[in-house]
Amino acid sequence: MIPTEFEYLRPRSMEEALGLLAQHGPEAKLLAGGHSLLPLMKLRLAAPKYLIDLGGLEQLSYVRDDGPEIAIGAMTPHAEVESSELIRRCCPLLAEAAAEIGDVQVRNRGTMGGSLAHADPGADYPAAILALEAKIKVRSREGERTIEAASFFLDLLTTALQPREIILEVRVARDRERSGAAYVKLHQPASGFAIVGTAARLMLDPKGNCETARIGVTGVGAKAYRAEAVEKALAGKRLTAALLAKASAMAAEGVEPLSDLHASAAYRLAMAEVITKRALEKALDRARGGRR
């Protein structure tokens, strides 16, 4: 199929983009990389009358050292997040998640902001964003605001973004000493989306015990979520193999699992435990100085 008829608009400034979005309201859609929206338009599951292409806003494509945080522009391609020396050195979890997205073509064209705004239940970034407790900076004509990652993903393909807001950047903290993180994923073979994906970030105290744990999970439910039961089970404890296994069994606690042609609900629940355990083991090894 081909999309329904639409008017293509390509603003050259943020002010122009916000003006067009305010002018056309719910009849408009923002186009970032296009790998999420265009397939929906071809299937006529989305039929905007106005398509506002953000590709001309080069000022939104950057990776910047901002002291205690790293700032990533919303139009930064996945491939740049994956290969950025700054991100790989100071926040490798984000680079690891970016490397798992789709294929080379998708990573070259898709953008961080576009992926987060679309909020696909099998997308990779949400798990990492949640584990990193990232901040998402957005803007409308009324001003700017910052949304905490924990409050950003609301439901299937639904976020805390208001209709006239555009994502500007994502901010993540640098890794601390005695910390380790990992993203482990069970791929859907055709699309590359996550049947289950877990981002685990562990911070150890000077004695080697778990000071804090942050676990983001994607692919299991209608939205990405923090596995808070796992986090609580690990906090303040000596991280033994038995404890990691016990905590991982809680990875989908309180979540209604998806069931589709790729995986049943029961399979997703089982794999959530397996994938979370693998992510925790890898994160712990890295926190202890390993290179696994």
pLDDT digits over 220-276, tens only? Answer: 999 999 999 999 999 999 999 999 999 999 999 999 999 999 999 999 999 999 999
Confidence of residue 96 (pLDDT cuts 50, 70, 90): very high
Cα(first)–Cα(last) distance of the chain, in Å?
A: 45
Confidence of residue 38 (pLDDT cuts 50, 70, 90): confident
Identify the pLDDT of residue 35: 80
Mean pLDDT of 43-49: 90
pLDDT value at 292 more than 70: no
pLDDT digits over 176-232, tens only? Answer: 999 999 999 999 988 889 999 999 999 999 999 999 999 999 999 999 999 999 999
State pTM to two decimals. Answer: 0.95
Q: Sketch out the chain's domains with CATH numbers.
A: 7-53 (3.30.43.10), 60-173 (3.30.465.10), 179-287 (3.30.390.50)
Mean pLDDT of the chain: 95
Confidence of residue 161 (pLDDT cuts 50, 70, 90): very high
